[in-house]
Amino acid sequence: MDSSEQKRRGFSPIQYKFSENRDGYTSYATSLPFVDPMKLCSNYVVAFDIEEHDAQSALGGAVKAFDNLCSRLFLAGVRDYKSTIDRYIGETYLYQISKVYQIAESDNEQDTPIVLQSGHIFLPNRPDRNEWQDKETSRFLDKILDFKDPVFNKALKYLYSSSVGHYRLASFEKIALDHFKSIELIVNTLSKKDTFKQRVDEAAEFLGLTADEIAEIKKYWDARSNGDIAHSHHLDPVAFYPNQFPLPTGGIEYPWAHLDRLSRVVLLKYHDVRRKYFHIDVHEPYGDDSRSPTLGAMNEHSECNHLFFETNTKDKKDVLKELKSEFCKSFQVDEKDLETEVLDAQNKRDLFIVGLFVKNPDFCAETNNIRNKCISIFG
């Protein structure tokens, strides 16, 4: 069938339409249950007959049938190449349903209208308020807008992707995986134990997670690892549903991951810990500089809480004593609130690196003076 005949028949990708404003809401969000991102052009047209009680059921049955056929054509093509040139390659098969007809008793085709509109609204009349409930939230927002910890920023991307996935038609699989990736990234940053569950136990001590939160993370891990977080059940319960369109998705361990609190808890607790932890590169001054020990900020444009400490002192214990003294003067904290660990140097100039944690829950870094200039350690 050539393109002119297809155009005459009104062939086009099956698309939903956005419904109009309803119920007097001034603002709302609505999403389409299905979006076809492709448009295929071809002179090859396949007619598929199916007996169903309405057009949408027929459309759903056709999608299932062609998905089934094309997946098997693809696998047969892979085997065909393997048999002839001993390589596991092959081209995928694409199809697009462009028209649904009803067959009349006279065997004539009749155009069948399909009502495809978004059916639900979300978040009506937002914003419903324009002030934070807690006055400290505005200050917190200012901090995280310029918080340059790469782990925090990447974990937040995963969390946000999961939270909006439902509205952007992401699969339940992607929503659940993004939710867990946010947690997994933080856990793997805080611990280097052999197994993930061991890393969870160690990271939980840093983050202050509850026993229930720890158990839930491990449960998530089991669902993610035993095959797939979305297919921890081997049988698909929707496989035998009546034909419908859009096709339902089932067999999902966490279908509402975007509403789950777990990754939100982990990310906020990680921020509370990370903002009080400092990496301090310890090295000698350049040349024959004999000035007094100096504490300063490094890579402020791309990192948070990364400092350097220049000293002519050689003994490691004496260096730590000097460093704590300088840190306490610069940040107005008590030395009893400091915990330190010595880490391996990352470059030849560094003597070693100190990990320093401030235990005081009220500690705030960005108003303090380092090297006679006021800097924001957070950003």
Claim: this prediction has a pTM higher than 0.85: no
Is the confidence at residue 227, as pLDDT, over 70? no
Query: What pLDDT is attached to residue 261?
Result: 83
CA 266, CA 199: separation in Å to the nearest integer? Answer: 14
CA 107, CA 46: separation in Å to the nearest integer? Answer: 18
CA 262, CA 117: separation in Å to the nearest integer? Answer: 34
For residue 113, whether the previous peptide bond is cis, meaning omega lies within 30 degrees of 0, is no
pLDDT tier for residue 368 given thresholds of 50, 70 and 90 = very low
Mean pLDDT over 84-103 rounds to 89
pLDDT tens column, 21-74: 667 788 888 888 888 888 999 999 999 999 988 888 898 899 999 988 999 899
Which residue type occupies 145? L
Query: What pLDDT is attached to residue 367?
Result: 38
In sequence order, which residues have a C-beta less than 8 Å from that of residue 180 and are 6 or more positions away?
220, 221, 224, 229, 257, 263
- The residue among 254 and 363 whose pLDDT is bigger is 363
Is the confidence at residue 268, as pLDDT, over 70? yes
Max Cα–Cα distance, the chain, nearest Å: 102
Q: Output DSSP code: residue 292.
A: P
pLDDT tens column, 167-221: 887 877 888 889 899 999 999 999 999 999 999 999 999 999 999 999 999 988 8
pLDDT tens column, 318-354: 989 999 998 998 888 888 999 888 887 777 777 888 9
- DSSP characters over 69-128: HHHHHHHHHHHHHHHHHS--------------EEE-TTS-EEE-----B----BSTT--S
pLDDT tier for residue 129 given thresholds of 50, 70 and 90 = confident
282, 354 in Cβ contact below 8 A? yes
- With tokens 């490094």, the residue in question is 298
Task: Of 36, 45, 37, 33, give the one whose Cα is nearest residue 6.
Answer: 45
Is the confidence at residue 234, as pLDDT, over 90? no
Is the confidence at residue 17, as pLDDT, over 90? no
Average per-residue pLDDT for the chain: 82
* Cβ-based neighbour number of residue 241 at 10 Å: 13
Which residue type occupies 302? S
**Does the domain at residues 275-374 carry the CATH identifier 3.40.50?**
no
- The residue among 17 and 2 whose pLDDT is bigger is 2
What is the number of helices (H) and of strands (E) in the chain?
9, 9
Task: Read off φ and ψ for residue 308, nearest 5 degrees.
Answer: -125, 155
Is the confidence at residue 258, as pLDDT, over 80? no
pLDDT tens column, 286-325: 766 667 788 888 887 888 888 888 888 888 899 899 999 9
- DSSP characters over 344-374: --SSSSEEEEEEEEE--TT---TT-EETTEE
In sequence order, which residues have a C-beta less than 8 Å from that of residue 304 and are 6 or more positions away?
147, 148, 149, 274, 275, 377, 378, 379
Query: What pLDDT is attached to residue 257?
Result: 53
Domain assignments of the chain as residue spans, ordered by start: 3-111, 136-273, 275-374
Is residue 378 classed as helix, strand or coil in its secondary structure? coil
190, 206 in Cβ contact below 8 A? yes
